[in-house]
């Protein structure tokens, strides 16, 4: 087992026993399900909408070079500086050098999972720059020194009491009882930061090739402020975020809101295509767009799983995943949690080290059922498993499955399984759950069924004998 896998088991074991966490997450998501279902009902045809969204992303991803070039050219035509980064280090270095070149001291940042993925805030802080997360949830976990718990709801795992304690400790604020009061504290802190920042950094939800815009979806307004007030703006966007046409957003923006948060549309959906243009009185004077690969092309090269790049990062698969709900977002130990994270992380960070994420699923398929762009998520988990084993069979598993196959190909031998089970049953029952019980992985927490007096095969033989 990799160190990541060992850590995963430890964290998952701890969280699955945490009944307080279990109840908190159930409650937090309860409202989401209701609103999401209400919203879906309003659609003329939700399933056809999914197919349309999937078709738009399929077109984009399967002609990625064409659309990226078009995007880049159209952005550049308005004075945007476009930088293509092969990996995270290249992206972080470039952004740091842009900041250094402009004498930047204070950076205000809006939500970017891509930025998390390449550890951008940490890289910039190491370069001596102050980076403040402006999104409320991100701000809270930044103060606590924690990674985001969920790609859309970073502080879902925290109670108001915990947030109040954090604010008091880190901001010196007065005690606050309600989410409203806590939000106002953050709002007041942030207003200063927006006005003082020399540089803004944002992510992007989509990038429109036809018109040369990046598109940012949010509810708080912090991304609009972070991308409008500072003189210098850098947007980092994964290359897979591109969509061919502006009209594709007419379907994708509402679906992102519905699947992600049960909303009709989120509060602010903003298209940014360039720095301050002639005739504009505000906005950044310099705008950089960093297009990031960081092994997305490796996933692209796997035709079976290429559709994982269709992901619009709505978080819906996390919200319906029973594994996610029981182990929590931090147990994944990586930027992208839930089913999509379990599919792509082995590709982005290494199959052998991260395959455990693809194995830790019951393959219930709720994720694929809910995905607004119809990614075949649960089947990709199976494919990752196959790929991992083909590359490197687990040394003690291989003989077990070889034995399993050998046995199951011999119905004559298999006939004797039932009598063996009946013989062993009382002994197994007596030692159930203890260390010496070979089935203790089951019996630690669950009883086994009592083997019946007759297997089906035995019943069938008896029945034929009687006729």
Partner 1 sequence: MKITLFIPCFIDQYYPGAGIGMVRILEKLGHTVEYPESQTCCGQPAFNSGYWDEARSVAETMLDAFRDAEVVVGVSGSCGAMLKVFYPELFHGRPREAEAKALAAKTHEFSSFLVNVLGVGDLGARFPAKATFHDGCHGLRELGIKREPRELLKHVRGLELVEMKEAETCCGFGGTFSVKFPEISTAMGEVKCASILETGAELVISNDSSCLMQIQGLFDRQGQKIKSLHLAEVLAQF
Partner 2 sequence: MPNDSRELILRRIRKALAVTAPARHLVGAVTGPSGHPPQDWLPPVPASEAERIALFEKNSLDLKTEVRRCSDAAAAASELAALARENNWKSIGSHRFALGNEAVSALGLPVVFTDQPYETASLERCDAAVSGCDCLVAQTGGIMVTSASAGGRVLSVLAPHHVVVASTSQLLGDLADAFAVLRKHHGSPPAFVSFITGPSRTGDIERILVLGAHGPKKLTVLLVQA
Q: Which helix (H) or strand (E) holds 218?
A: strand 213-218
The region, left, alpha or beta by phi > 0 then psi within -120 to 50, assigned to residue 343 is: alpha
- Residue 435 binds which entry of partner 1, partner 2, none, with Cβ cut-offs from 5 to 8 Å by kind? none
Q: Are strands 286-292 and 81-85 parallel, antiparallel or unpaired?
A: parallel
**Total number of residues binding partner 1 (CB under 8 A)?**
59
Q: Which of residues 334-363 bind partner 1 (CB under 8 A)?
A: 359-363
Q: Which of residues 366-385 bind partner 1 (CB under 8 A)?
A: 366, 368-369, 382, 385
- Residue 73 binds which entry of partner 2, partner 1, none, with Cβ cut-offs from 5 to 8 Å by kind? none
25 near partner 1, judged by CB under 8 A: no
- Residue 119 binds which entry of partner 1, partner 2, none, with Cβ cut-offs from 5 to 8 Å by kind? none
Instruction: Report the Cα–Cα distance between both ends of the chain, in Å, rounded.
Output: 55
CB crowding 345-368: b at 16 or more within 10 Å, else e: bbbbbeeeebbbbbebbeeebbbb
- Residue 283 binds which entry of partner 2, partner 1, none, with Cβ cut-offs from 5 to 8 Å by kind? partner 2
For partner 1, the closer of residues 208 and 377 by Cβ is 377
For partner 2, the closer of residues 290 and 323 by Cβ is 290
Nearest to 176 by CA among 162, 189, 157, 194: 162
Closest separation between CB of residue 351 and partner 1, Å?
11
For partner 2, the closer of residues 239 and 311 by Cβ is 239
SS (H, E, C) 247-297: CHHHHHHHHHHHHHHCCCCCCEEEEECCCCCCCCCCCCCEEEEEEECCCHH
Closest separation between CB of residue 230 and partner 1, Å?
44
What the block records as the tokens of 171 is 């901001």
Q: Are strands 81-85 and 206-208 parallel, antiparallel or unpaired?
A: unpaired
- Residue 169 binds which entry of partner 2, partner 1, none, with Cβ cut-offs from 5 to 8 Å by kind? none
Q: Which positions lie near partner 1, rule CB under 8 A? A: 9, 12-13, 16-17, 22, 26, 322-323, 326-327, 359-366, 368-369, 382, 385-390, 393, 397-398, 401-402, 404-405, 408-411, 414, 417-418, 421, 441-442, 444-449, 451-452, 454-457, 459-460
């Amino acid at each position: 087992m990799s160190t990541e896998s060992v850590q995963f088991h430890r964290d998952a074991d701890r969280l699955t026993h945490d009944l307080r966490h279990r109840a908190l997450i159930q409650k937090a998501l309860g409202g989401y399900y209701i609103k999401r279902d209400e919203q879906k009902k309003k659609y003329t045809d939700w399933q056809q909408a999914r197919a349309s969204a999937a078709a738009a992303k399929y077109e984009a991803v399967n002609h990625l070079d064409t659309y990226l070039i078009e995007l880049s050219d159209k952005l550049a035509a308005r004075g945007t500086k476009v930088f293509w980064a092969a990996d995270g280090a290249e992206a972080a270095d470039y952004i740091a050098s842009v900041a250094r070149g402009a004498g930047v001291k204070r950076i205000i940042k809006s939500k970017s999972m891509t930025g998390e993925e390449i550890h951008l805030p940490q890289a910039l802080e190491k370069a001596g720059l102050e980076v403040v997360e402006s999104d409320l949830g991100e701000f809270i976990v930044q103060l606590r020194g924690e990674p985001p718990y969920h790609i859309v709801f970073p502080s879902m795992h925290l109670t108001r009491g915990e947030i109040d304690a954090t604010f008091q400790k880190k901001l010196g604020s007065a005690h606050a009882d309600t989410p409203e009061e806590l939000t106002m504290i953050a709002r007041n802190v942030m207003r200063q930061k927006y006005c003082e920042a020399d540089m803004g950094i944002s992510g992007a939800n989509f990038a429109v090739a036809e018109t040369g815009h990046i598109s940012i979806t949010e509810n708080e307004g912090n991304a609009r402020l972070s991308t409008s007030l500072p003189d210098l703006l850098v947007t980092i966007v994964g290359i897979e975020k591109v969509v061919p046409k502006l009209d594709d957003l007419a379907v994708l923006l509402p679906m992102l809101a519905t699947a992600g948060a049960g909303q009709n549309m989120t509060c602010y959906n903003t298209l940014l295509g360039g720095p301050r243009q002639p005739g504009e009185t505000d906005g950044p004077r310099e705008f950089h767009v960093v297009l990031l690969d960081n092994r997305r092309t490796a996933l692209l090269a796997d035709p079976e799983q290429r559709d994982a790049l269709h992901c619009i990062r709505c978080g819906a698969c996390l919200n319906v995943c029973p594994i996610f709900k029981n182990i929590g977002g931090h147990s994944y130990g990586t930027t992208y949690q839930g089913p999509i994270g379990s599919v792509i992380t082995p590709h982005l960070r290494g199959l052998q080290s991260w395959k455990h994420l693809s194995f830790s699923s019951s393959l219930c398929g709720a994720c694929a059922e809910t995905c607004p762009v119809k990614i075949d998520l649960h089947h990709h988990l199976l494919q990752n498993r196959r790929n991992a084993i083909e590359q490197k069979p687990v040394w003690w598993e291989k003989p077990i499955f070889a034995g399993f196959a050998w046995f199951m190909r011999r119905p004559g031998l298999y006939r004797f399984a039932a009598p063996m089970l009946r013989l062993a049953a009382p002994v197994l029952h007596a030692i159930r759950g203890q260390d010496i019980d070979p089935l203790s992985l089951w019996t630690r927490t669950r009883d086994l069924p009592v083997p019946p007096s007759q297997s089906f095969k035995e019943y069938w033989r008896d029945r034929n004998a009687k006729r």
